[in-house]
Structures are given as C-alpha cells and as structure tokens.
Copies of this chain bind each other. A is one copy, B any other.
C-alpha cells in the first residue's frame, strides 16, 4: 500500500532533521538496536533533545529515561520505534497521541514476511495517518544527517567510523546496501551528509527522500538505490524537484534481471516493475542511471566540482599514444564527442613539436616531461582554441614525480583559474597525499582513463538534463476519452481511434459475400478480409484472416471460408460480420502500443514489427501523453530507425504522419483513464505518404459495478 501526506517533500524534515527524538525500546548497551542511535548521537554531538523510553530504567547511557511515551515532558518531533513488531502498533499510537510528527520503525517482521505482515504494517500506517505522522519503514536501518549529528540508525557501520559530512546524499530502499554505499563513499574520500534507508516503504519512499534532499543545503548530489517503484508520479516529482534545484540524481535501479527481480520481490515485497519502462521514464526526468556502485561513486565524485557542461565535448592531452587511444575508444563507446582541434592550432602545435600529434587526442609525447611548457601550451590550446568543455590529461605515474609535480600543479592551477567553467580531469597514479594536492587545485583524478571518460561523459549528460526544459509534472491535462463498457471488436476499436485522429486503412464491415465483393471493388484491390468479433483476439490463428485477395471470386471464397472457420473454431463467439480493407503495401511495418505500468500509468511503445521487437527488443518507450516532437524523437531513437529514414535506397516513410499518430495515441491513452488496459496497433503501415493502422486491439477493463 502506498500513501503520503502533503504535496511537497518538506514534511520529511521531522524524520531527517528533528529537533527532538524519542527512542522507544532504548537500551543502555550501545551495541544493541535500541542503544546504537543514542550512542551515535552522543558521540556525534546531536544538539536536539534525546528522550530514551524504557519502562525498566531510570537512566540510559547517562540520559534520563522515561517509562512511557505518555510520560515525556514534550512531544518529540520524531519517534524511533525499536520494539518487537507486535508492540509497534501501540507504540505508534502512543507517539501519535503525544503529538509526535513522524516515526522511524526499525522493527522488522512485516510485509517482508508475507500477507499477515503486510496487513500489520498497513494498520500502523492507518494509525499514523490518523495523527498526521509520516512513517519511515518498517524494516528500515534508519537515517543519518551528519551535519547536525542526527543518527536515527542502528547500523553497525559506525563502529568503524563516522561519515564525514560532504556533498553526497544517499536514498536507498535497501538498508545494508545504502550503508554499503556510504562506507564505500567514505573509503574514496567522498563525504555523505544524509543517508535515508526506506525499508518496506509503507509511507516514505526513496522518491520522498530524493525530493527532500533536492531542497537540502547539505546535499549537492543525490545517489539513489531502488528496487521497485510503487508510486511513479512521486518519483517523477522528486526527480523534477532535483532538476529544478540543479542537483544530479544518480540512480541504481536494481532488480533488472529475472533473478534479481525475483529476489527483490522476495525481500521487500515490492514490485520491481518493467525495467525498460522505468528506464525510459526516469531518463526523461533527468535521472542518471548507473550499472554498479563504482560508477555511482565515480559520478558522485566527479559532481564535486558542480560543473555540468551541456553540449559536452572532450579533449584528451596525453604524454603517451596509448593513453589517448584508450580514452578515445571509451569516448566513442559512451557517445562523448571528441572533435578535432582547429586546423590553425594544429599547424602551430605541429611546428612547436614536430613528432607530436595535435589533432585530438593531442599527444605531446614524453618530450613534454623534459619541457613542461609543451604540456602547458598543448593544454591551453585545447581549452582556448579547441574549446572542449571537458579535458582529460593522461599523465599516469608522471603526475606523482617529485621533480615534476610542483611545476605541473602550478601550470594546472593557472589553467583552472583561466578556464573556471571547464571540467579538468587527470588520469594519474600517485600516493594519497599527492592526489589530494591535485584535487585541491580543482582537478578530478582517476587512475583509469576509461573510468575518467565515463565520469566526464556523465557530467555532460547531467548538464544536458539540467539545461533541458523540465517535463511538466503533472503532465498536461488531455481531453477525456469515453471508453465502451468492455473490450471492443476491431471496427469499433478503429472507430474509437479514428475519433482520436488515428487513421486505419480504408475498410468496410460487410454482412455477406456480395457486400464483400462490392466493398472490395470500391476500396480497390488487393484487399484483406478479417473476421469481426470481440471474442476472437488471435484471428490469424483460427483462419480468420485472408491477405492479398485480388478479384471478386477470391473475395467471395475468402468471405465464406472465414465465416466457416470462425464458426468452427469459436462456436460461441459473437460475430459482427467480415471486415474488408484495402491492403496497403510498399511501406514499413511498425508497431505502436499502449500498456499500463503499475507505477507509471499509461506508457506508449514504438518499434518496427516482428523480429525487431520480439527478438531484438528494439523499442522506444515514453509515458503518455507527449507531443509530436517527442514522438518523433522516440521513433528516431530505435536502432533500426535508418529503415524508416531511407536506408538501402528505400523511400523514407512519412515520419511526420507517424509521429502525429504516436502522439495522438498517447493523448488517447492519457485521456482514457485507468480502465484502458492496453492498445496494440500491429502493424501500422508507414508509407512514403501517410501512416495507417492495419489492425487495432483495444483492451478495456469492465466498468466497476456501482
């Protein structure tokens, strides 16, 4: 069950930046679940009020302890519930009655254990709702907010050290994985200010945490780990809030594999949903999706400079051909352009260093180690004349050389000051102290040139996302569409679509062989005949479709054969006659469809028909509704798009008509509301002029009984 209170994300402040906290089930033992938060807050110097609650103690870890929630001298802003699951409801109720604003439920044994546990957590939510409280968890490892020393968590990771405050905020559905991210970030020198682990997400979700961090001054870059989405709209709103705040959201969506999804379902009882749909929609709203933890941390590290170059380009300066080649390979693989240096600049650099290679990568050769001014000239030229938004300097172990480092640093500091808006990264290997000097000079450092290129490319993607007009959220209203009571037959489906401006091939429904012949002659040969029935979905399978019919005799024979086949195969089916349609050819067969994602609502799918979709999974997906420009971009984004635009001497298809049709379909789906289960236009014939649905299936849920 998903729910929330309020329209914005600030309500999470009670959970994440409280001025007072009660710990129900407080323990004097700093290693126990009810003792750890108290110990941590004392160590970290939390300046809010801490109220331990335990009926058996007068004092806990040196703090006065209260026998019950009712005994508290004031309403705490947040209550941490560290009691067994069976006592959680009464505890939450007591906190609510006291006037508490939010609860963090460490307690486990809820939805993750089955249906009974799910009912129990829903009950808790209902109690909290009655008192206007937000709920984090249950089954959460908790949160921390390092800047104010608030540690509402029982993570044992603090035993090996506290997070250093820094630009990173982590929002994770998985507790252990969220903490793993924080510890891994610390290991690589990245400070984490805020960690939120959401557990079973009965109320507060990763989306809420992202939204709150978008408005938090302590967080510059948001790292999110998510297994499934329940409330797509909330996630979209959170992503747009982060975009509006100029903060990248780096997202690891786990459970993309069959096994991973199954494991995710077993451990949090969350729907992992269709990965491709989530991918498409999250990307539209600016999320930068990563494959693994390392990439997440690399990107978060690169974001420390807060330089996100839209229209990113890469210049590579190298003292070794190999380094340049490796970087160029990776840049091409991730789609980061490396335009060549201007011809005049190349000319000049070539005169300066005849064996150098000043195109891009710019190879100033090991000669630059003897004469550092060469390196400086190359780098300056790349920045000034090449104009690259990102520059990678391949220096490897040389940057650590005690002879060269001071002069290199000098040169780089000057470049940094002269070109403050460029991303400068070093590929270097050296001790931590030396690396720190370069980082303090405003440079990013990576040991591996390929990882450096991927991180620079990601900063460009962030820049493009921040520069893009935000997708309106909620999406613009569209005119409502009135649906029939249930799944319609093909002619009715096509009529519905025609009202939405979606054209089918010219066709008529006929009631006899003679009518069929007359219709065929009026439409023009060749024609297709199909059985009409709301009860027969797979018409071909039962012999209910005949293609390529030329001449009256063929049409007459086909008409009777189709009817006979339908009566034989589905004696109970309601038959609505036979559909005669002009058979279109000479175009490209496409597929358009609508499906309803449980988290994100209606989404449109576009691809070429047949094997392109079924074997190569070459499709584009987008949340409905969207305009023609977006539809066009979708169509052109599939790998097989060249087939539509005139590859191999074909005539290009009417992209304009195709995009209009796809956009109209998306409006139809958005206007139709939740009873629309699916639309399948397969094939759509895209011709050099016009595009026509040759078949249409609309699946509709029956109207709810009143």
Q: Are B320 and A175 in contact (CB under 8 A)?
A: yes
Q: Are B329 and A254 in contact (CB under 8 A)?
A: yes
Q: A180 near B: Cβ within 8 Å?
A: yes
Selecting from A212-220, A288-296, A436-444, A513-521, the interface stretch reads: A288-296
Interface string of A300-334 (1 = CB under 8 A from B): 00000000000000000001111111101111110
Q: A417 near B: Cβ within 8 Å?
A: no
Q: Are B396 and A647 in contact (CB under 8 A)?
A: no
Given contacts A266-B357, A643-B611, contact A320 B180 (CB under 8 A): yes
Q: A118 near B: Cβ within 8 Å?
A: no
Q: Are B401 and A160 in contact (CB under 8 A)?
A: yes
Q: Are A254 and B183 in contact (CB under 8 A)?
A: no
Report which of B292, B325, B610, B639 forms a contact with A254, defined as CB distance below 8 A: B325
Q: A472 near B: Cβ within 8 Å?
A: no
Q: Are A183 and B292 in contact (CB under 8 A)?
A: no
List of B residues within 8 angstroms of A325 by Cβ: 174, 227, 254-255, 260, 263-264, 267
CA distance A330 to B319 in the complex (A): 35
Residue of B nearest to A453 (CB): B292
Q: A2 near B: Cβ within 8 Å?
A: no
List of B residues within 8 angstroms of A460 by Cβ: none
CA distance A323 to B363 in the complex (A): 42
Interface residues in A460-510 (C-beta closer than 8 Å to B): none
Q: Are B326 and A260 in contact (CB under 8 A)?
A: yes
Q: Are A322 and B160 in contact (CB under 8 A)?
A: no
Q: A172 near B: Cβ within 8 Å?
A: yes
Report which of B257, B366, B615 forms a contact with A639, defined as CB distance below 8 A: B615
Report which of B160, B267, B294, B322 forms a contact with A176, defined as CB distance below 8 A: B322
Q: Are B451 and A176 in contact (CB under 8 A)?
A: no
Q: Are A397 and B267 in contact (CB under 8 A)?
A: no
Q: A109 near B: Cβ within 8 Å?
A: yes
Interface size on A, residues (CB 8 A): 89
List of B residues within 8 angstroms of A648 by Cβ: 610-611, 614
List of B residues within 8 angstroms of A240 by Cβ: none
Q: Are B326 and A397 in contact (CB under 8 A)?
A: no
Q: Are B430 and A160 in contact (CB under 8 A)?
A: yes
Report which of B109, B159, B647 forms a contact with A355, defined as CB distance below 8 A: B109
Q: A705 near B: Cβ within 8 Å?
A: no
Interface centre among A156, A262, A328, A333 (most CB of B within 10 A): A328
Q: Are A260 and B610 in contact (CB under 8 A)?
A: no
Q: Are B332 and A257 in contact (CB under 8 A)?
A: yes
List of B residues within 8 angstroms of A616 by Cβ: 616, 639-640
List of B residues within 8 angstroms of A319 by Cβ: 176
List of B residues within 8 angstroms of A448 by Cβ: 184, 292-294
Chain B: minimal CB distance from A157 (Å) = 5
Interface residues in A345-400 (C-beta closer than 8 Å to B): 354-355, 357, 359-361, 363, 366, 369, 396-398, 400
Interface centre among A254, A331, A359, A450 (most CB of B within 10 A): A254
Residue of B nearest to A361 (CB): B263
Which 3 residue pairs across A and B have the least CB separation, nearest first?
Answer: A174-B322, A176-B320, A177-B322
Instruction: Using CB atoms and an 8 Å cutoff, list the residues of chain A in contact with chain B.
Output: 108-109, 112-113, 156-157, 159-160, 172-180, 183-184, 187, 225, 227, 252, 254-260, 262-264, 266-268, 291-294, 319-326, 328-333, 338, 354-355, 357, 359-361, 363, 366, 369, 396-398, 400-403, 429-430, 447-451, 610-611, 614-616, 639-640, 642-643, 647-648
Question: What are some 26 contacts across the A-B interface (CB < 8 A)?
Answer: A108-B355, A109-B355, A159-B402, A160-B430, A172-B322, A174-B322, A176-B321, A177-B320, A177-B396, A180-B323, A187-B447, A225-B322, A254-B322, A256-B333, A259-B361, A260-B329, A263-B325, A263-B357, A263-B359, A266-B363, A267-B324, A292-B449, A610-B648, A611-B643, A615-B642, A615-B647
